[in-house]
Chain A
């Protein structure tokens, strides 16, 4: 289901409901300002832009249905939780084997720190960015997602934790390890100083 600009999805026609939306509509107040963040996060969670848009649209619909039960506290965290649950449900419905495979893959991932033995020196510029980009791509999914949510999408630890359904401590530890691996790559490439003991 997608909003194509040519007309509302049929499901919208089913959603006329009553509630205390006026004079200040909480959906306008709490949800609409977060659409851009939701789309960024959806891009991080999904592999295709079209899937990201569909995911946000489903999230908006679910938020609309639940807005009367929302107390107004931490709207972004509330919406990110809806986004996560919607994402999980969509994957289960479409590709029931996917989540199991991902979970199993996560468990198999071992810590494989890169050996770092190269000349010291800090060099900034395109080479640095290129190595960072490669290092990000080389990270296991669970690490890459956290780094992307925090460093690219701009979420706080709490918001990233809501998005992925993990404790904040897990966000911190994965970030720490992920950036550590990226730093090791930079050190190996001679683009960052090696820490001497």
Chain B
């Protein structure tokens, strides 16, 4: 006689629909631990309703990723140049003073 399946999320290999729907988005975002991920994946393979819903969320995420607008390269370059200038300012300050402290602006 086979053992009765245990109902706890932490011990059962196949999770329930409700349990899966609670974590499916974290799963799709790669933010669940490996054990949870395996159980969710097993459930999505076996349950058509949850599988379809997860597919829809995957498509939503993909559609959103396609919306990422390219950054303004000139703006990016100006900011990188500004950041580099800060480092260079530090290097010059060290070379000229060696010691002493100039407080940064408030």
Contacts and interface: CB of A to CB of B under 8 A. Distances in A.
Interface of A: 2-5, 8, 11-19, 21-22, 25, 27-28, 31-32, 35-36, 38-40, 43, 49, 52-53, 56-57, 60-61, 64-65, 122, 124, 128-129, 132-133, 136, 147-148, 150-153, 156-157, 172, 175-176, 179, 182-183, 186, 192-193, 195-196
A11 to B, nearest CB: 6
A122 B55 contact: yes
A168 B92 CA distance: 41
Interface of B: 25-26, 29, 31, 49, 52-53, 55-57, 59-61, 63-69, 71-72, 75-87, 89-94, 96-97, 99-105
Contacts of B78: 2-5, 53
A17 B93 contact: yes
Given A122-B55, A122-B56, A183-B56, 8 more contacts: A5-B77, A8-B85, A35-B83, A38-B79, A60-B86, A186-B56, A192-B59, A195-B49
24 contacts: A8-B85, A12-B82, A12-B86, A14-B104, A14-B105, A17-B90, A25-B90, A28-B87, A38-B79, A39-B71, A43-B71, A49-B75, A53-B72, A60-B83, A64-B83, A64-B90, A122-B55, A128-B63, A129-B67, A151-B65, A183-B53, A186-B60, A193-B53, A195-B53
A136 B100 contact: no
Contacts, number: 162
A57 B25 CA distance: 34
Contact of B100 (A2, A18, A128, A172): A18
B60 A27 contact: no
A117 to B, nearest CB: 16
Contacts of B49: 195-196
Contacts of B60: 132, 151, 179, 182-183, 186
Q: Which of A5, A12, A18 has the most CB of B within 10 A?
A: A18
A28 B87 CA distance: 7
Contacts of B75: 39, 49, 52-53
Contacts of A31: 83
B25 A175 contact: yes
Contacts of A52: 75
Contacts of A21: 87, 90-91, 94
Q: Which of B64, B68, B71, B97 has the most CB of A within 10 A?
A: B64
A190 B94 CA distance: 65
A18 B15 CA distance: 57
A4 B85 CA distance: 13
B71 A17 contact: no
A150 B29 contact: yes
